Amino acid sequence: MKPSIVKRSVATVVASVMLTTSILPMAASAEEATAQEIPQQDTMQQIIQAIDKLPAPSAVNVINEQAINEAQQQVAMLTEEQRLALPNYAKLQALITTLATVKVIDSIAKLPAVSLTNTTEILQVEAAYNALADKQAVKNVVKLQEALTQLTTMQKPITAFEQSLAKFTDATITKEVLFKLEESYNALNETQRQYVDYNQLKHWAELLEQNHKALITAIAALPKPEQITVAHRAQIEQLLTSFHALSLEQQQAIPNAFTLLEADAALEVVEKSLNTTAKQVQMKIAVLPTTLDSKDRELIIQVRALYEQLTTRQKHAVSNYQRLVEAERALLIQGDAVMTLIAEIAKLPALTKLSIKEQALVEQLKNNYNALSAAQKVEVTNAAILLAAEQKMQALMDADKKDKIKPINDAIDKIIQKSQLTLADESKIADIRTALSGLTNEQLSQVKNLDKFKKLEEQMVSTKTKIRKIIADIAALPAVEKITVKDDATVQAIRKSLGGLSTVQREDIWNYTKLVAIEDAIHMLKMTPQAQYVFQAIEKLPVVGQIRLVDESQVLAVQSEYEQLALGERIMITNYQKLLEAGKQIITLKQQQAPKGFEHAFTTSKGISSLKEIAETHTLYLTTSALKTIDIALAPEFIAAVKAHNYEQVSITTATGVVIDVPLAVFRSQLRKTSTLLITKKETVVANRPAVMIELSERTQSGKVEPLNLANKAIKIRVPLAVFQTFNQNGALLMVKEDGFVPVMHRVVNDVVEIQLQANGHYIYSTEWVSFRDVAQHPDALAVEKLATRHIIKGVTPATFAPNKKITRAQFGAMIARALHLTAHEQTVYEDVKGQWYERDIQALYEAGITKSTGDYQPNALLTRQHAAVFMARVLAYTGQQIEAKQSSSYIDQQAIGKDYVAAVALLKELNIMGGRPDNTFGPQENLTRIQMAKILYRTMLEAKLL
């Protein structure tokens, strides 16, 4: 059966946590201490040096993991007393704790989207986090908690199913239970089923069927009742056990169950006749000797054989059975000592391979041999081998005692060759002195360089005193967080003392990292708050070798802060080189991933986080890591590369999801060869409403900045509603003008506002729904309210619309211009609109081709129905709708429709935008009312996908 997702990962998780988060092992037991070789003093010093070379806990990261693990493994070989004697033991503990925390933070940051497939990974991170001593240092723990919550929700049905599955075994499963388990399995979804063991259900189904058939077959194979003997007892008992384990329903399904019951009854009859045999066994046990030796072995074996031939009922009748067991045990004990010793002697190495290491083993075997009785010693067939091993061991020990002088001479020669003594040499000198103290006067006379060694001892005392004083002085300094500028003189004095030590000797200053940290702290105290912030921010950056593209925003933010510092403050930023290297690494990473021909983009252009080309869409995708404000400058080299690749567009995506699509035409026709394209997006607030400012401009080679003419340039903008702090899809996008707001042609798709940018400026999204009481019950009220909410049409008062009032050509033209967000760029062509409020709107209609009259516009003339139809047909054409209509609309008054309007009337009828009257007349010369205007404009915008 498959274990649950959680259970399946437990072993792995626990093992992982024990390896990565354990601090140091407990002290070895007495037995382990005896078996291990205790590390010598030189090993202790090597460990101290290895720990001192490690960085301070505050500077540790994952690249130090191997070195820390190696130091931890070395310390694990020490005894508890030796570990406590390490002067930098606390540092290693702090490093291990900090490394565990850093690894957990990194693991949480790298967690993938939650799914059942990465359960083990998430649980491993959770286990590592739970094992931490300082959980508060994990600032991103919320991400882990959210992942665990999601995972628990996903696992609940699986856990419930597996708990149900675990309640049953092959012996307890029934058909009823199996049916319910299959129902539970079918209730799981496809993904969940992958994590449960359906094979167990199949196995049980097959097992039930097999057991049923096997039991029937086995019963059928039983002999007839008159043929039953004691030999059939085990067979019948097994079948009875299987039968009684069935449910009542299953027992009733066994067709030959009565045959089994008959066989059991016949067996009972046979066994009653065998009681005399049980009494015979009991008598043989009663006459067993009180004191046993090896000659009684055969007798006991015979009695045991007779007993085993009895049936279960007969065995219960043997009341002195325990006496047989005790006799067997006594005989076994007598034989074990001899046999064990023979086996152990056989394991000894050959005499030629015997070494001093086996001394304790040989002595123990000799003691075991001496503990035997005389009769038992005779049975030890390989005692001669033990005697030979004992003699060889004595010879080895004698040889070992003869030469103690050479190792001492070698050790003295090695240490006097060193130019500088370190604390690591202290234990070596002490070992030599200990060895010397064990020599006789005659042996001492054979030691070379003894006088030089005595001078080294004096030098070691002096070096040790100097190093210990510096360590003590550093230890006496306040903690880093409590340091002040007043401590500067003391710190400088310690630094001066360090100058008297060699580089090798300085490595013995185990708390040297504290001195460096304090020097950094004093350096920080001398800084301004702004300089301190920049210094600390640089320190928090990953080391150059670990910089990734996701760190770009952090690096850019620090660079910006640094550039705002005064010259005197910048001098204090002693780690500025790290910031420079980080910036270079970001650029290198970008260049490696950039499309061919755009490697220069990250050095000549500004504001680019990444570039990617999609051949299928002929698009270059540009992302920027900036959030609410972005300033992108696309250099002439970038623009030339876009043209050379002939991309259809450059799509720019900001960190907040705003997308700006700039078509190739802008790069080809709007910009000079030596100009830079500037794109600015700023999320701000206008009139207490969230707003987005979009601006595209050209910076010439001389530095002059000119806004681009964006009209009809097909620049598309997509802004998530979330940027406007709303999810209301029935709002209106408005452009901010000095005298108010202007509606912008747009649509909302999947909570994203899509517009075709016509001008630079600020844009807001209004969710204020506009309604009028005099159209509230009208069938076309929705059309009026939608257009009014978008600021395309207005009421005659804030509360009334005057639906039946006639509309002029000027009013209708202004509504269309607002609906399409049209902007005039040329001088007015119509003399009769100059100087009027609608002048620029009517000129915009003319430039868009929606009005084509070459004479006067007649703005105050009431709008006729056929004029309204042709206006709407031109709006559809302007928005790119490719629709062919019939040339006739089959109205009764078809002949009254002007020839220039026939096609437009037919088109609007076919699209159900504008129809005739109930009597199938169109009334081409009738004037349009305001409610009719709203209806046809609303339907036209729907057809053009502008709503």
- 864-900 per-position pLDDT tens digit: 999 999 999 999 999 888 777 667 778 999 999 999 9
User: For the range 739-743, what are the long-range contacts, defined as Cβ-Cβ under 8 Å and sequence gap of 24 or more?
Assistant: 741/766, 741/791, 742/791, 742/818, 742/821, 743/790, 743/791, 743/792, 743/818, 743/819, 743/821
Q: Look at residue 545 in the predicted model and tell me its pLDDT.
A: 84
Query: Quick one: pLDDT band at residue 32, thresholds 50, 70, 90?
Result: very low
CB 862 within 8 A of CB 927: yes
Q: Look at residue 692 in the predicted model and tell me its pLDDT.
A: 94
Q: Look at residue 795 in the predicted model and tell me its pLDDT.
A: 93
Residue 234 CA, chain-centre distance (Å), reads 59
Half-sphere exposure of 501 (CA within 13 A, CB side): 26
- If phi over 0 gives left and psi between -120 and 50 gives alpha, with beta otherwise, what is residue 174? beta
* Options 2.60.220, 2.40.50, 3.30.1370, 2.60.40; CATH of 595-766: 2.60.220
- Mean pLDDT along residues 590-595: 86
Highest mean pLDDT among 55-59, 216-220, 267-271: 216-220
The alpha-helical segments, DSSP class H, found in 371-449 are 374-379, 383-402, 405-416, 424-437, 441-444
496, pLDDT greater than 80: yes
Six token digits for residue 805: 């009032």
Task: Give the count of beta carbons closer than 10 Å to the beta carbon of residue 51.
Answer: 23
Q: Look at residue 828 in the predicted model and tell me its pLDDT.
A: 93
Lowest mean pLDDT among 10-19, 66-75, 277-286, 862-871: 10-19
Q: Look at residue 400 in the predicted model and tell me its pLDDT.
A: 57
In angstroms, how far is the first alpha carbon of the chain from the final one?
57
Highest mean pLDDT among 261-275, 410-424, 625-639: 625-639
600 phi/psi in degrees, rounded to 5: -75, -15
Average pLDDT, the chain: 84
34, pLDDT greater than 50: no
Of 923, 880, 882, the C-alpha closest to 905 is 923
Q: Residue 304, class by beta-carbon neighbours within 10 Å (0-12 exposed, 13-18 middle, 19+ buried)?
A: middle
Six token digits for residue 559: 């660079």
User: In this predicted model, what pLDDT tens digit does every residue of 653-669 receive, in sequence order?
Assistant: 998 899 999 999 898 88
808 phi/psi in degrees, rounded to 5: -90, 170
Q: Look at residue 38 in the predicted model and tell me its pLDDT.
A: 47
User: In this predicted model, what pLDDT tens digit does every residue of 297-314 receive, in sequence order?
Assistant: 678 778 877 887 887 767
DSSP, collapsed to helix, strand or coil, labels residue 526 as: coil
Q: Look at residue 886 in the predicted model and tell me its pLDDT.
A: 66
The pTM for the full model equals 0.45
Lowest mean pLDDT among 715-724, 790-799, 816-825, 924-933: 816-825
DSSP, collapsed to helix, strand or coil, labels residue 753 as: strand
Lowest mean pLDDT among 43-57, 325-339, 528-542: 325-339
Q: Look at residue 66 in the predicted model and tell me its pLDDT.
A: 86
Task: Give the count of beta carbons closer than 10 Å to the beta carbon of residue 639.
Answer: 22
Query: Quick one: pLDDT band at residue 294, thresholds 50, 70, 90?
Result: low
Residues of the chain above pLDDT 90, percent: 26
Distance CA 730, CA 746 (A): 11
CB 53 within 8 A of CB 66: no
6, pLDDT greater than 60: no
Distance CA 414, CA 102 (A): 42
Distance CA 882, CA 438 (A): 110
Distance CA 232, CA 242 (A): 16
Q: Look at residue 343 in the predicted model and tell me its pLDDT.
A: 67
173, pLDDT greater than 70: yes
Q: Look at residue 335 in the predicted model and tell me its pLDDT.
A: 59
Q: Look at residue 8 in the predicted model and tell me its pLDDT.
A: 40
Of 638, 655, 656, the C-alpha closest to 647 is 638
CA distances from 366 to 345, 557, 620 (A): 10, 79, 87
- Mean pLDDT along residues 201-227: 85
Residue 806 β-bridge partners: 929
Lowest mean pLDDT among 277-281, 628-632, 757-761, 914-918: 277-281
- Please work out, in degrees rounded to the nearest 5, the angle formed at the alpha carbon of residue 937 by the alpha carbons of 932 and 939: 100
Task: Give the count of beta carbons closer than 10 Å to the beta carbon of residue 422.
Answer: 21
Q: Look at residue 2 in the predicted model and tell me its pLDDT.
A: 45
Angle between helices 5-21 and 89-109 (to 10 degrees): 150
Which has the higher per-residue pLDDT, 695 or 524?
695
DSSP 716: E
Q: Look at residue 498 in the predicted model and tell me its pLDDT.
A: 86
Q: Look at residue 715 in the predicted model and tell me its pLDDT.
A: 92
User: In this predicted model, what pLDDT tens digit does every residue of 409-458 receive, in sequence order?
Assistant: 888 888 877 767 887 788 888 888 888 887 777 778 878 888 888 888 88
